[in-house]
Amino acid sequence: MKKVILGLAILATLTFASCKKEGTEAKEEVKKENTEVKQETKANVPTFDNEKVGEYIKTYDAYLEDYKKVVNSKDMTKFQTLAAKGQELAKKAQALTAEGLSEADSKKLNDYMQKKAKELQELAKKMMQ
């Protein structure tokens, strides 16, 4: 009986150590992916003459990151909160365009937002799966 209990204790310890190691490796992989995404995102962000457009892009990118997290967690409560943030961003975008942007800023913003809209569309599809 003592041998069985000892054997179970050893098995439990090995299982725990194995799970802990796998968890650490998984966390490191996620951390690496997040770093790569952040670096890629920063590299693909255009610069704008109008500071307000740059601020808007930063806010929108933060919204998109939150959206990605919600899609992965499939938390509908958090998703509803994001809907309100999305409406706020839409108002800010309207205010920016009403303010009048330079032709260059307008084109860069339009191109960038089209790319982001595709990302958002893919995320929305993922959310429905």
The string of pLDDT tens digits covering residues 31-62 is 554 444 444 445 578 888 899 999 999 999 99
The string of pLDDT tens digits covering residues 76-117 is 888 888 888 999 999 999 998 888 889 999 999 999 999 999
Please list, residue by residue across 45-81, b when 16 or more beta carbons sit within 10 angstroms of its beta carbon and e when fewer do.
eeebebeebbebbeebbebbeebeebbeeeeeeeeee
pLDDT score for 80: 85
pLDDT score for 42: 53
Q: Report the predicted TM-score, pTM, of the whole model to 2 decimal places.
A: 0.62
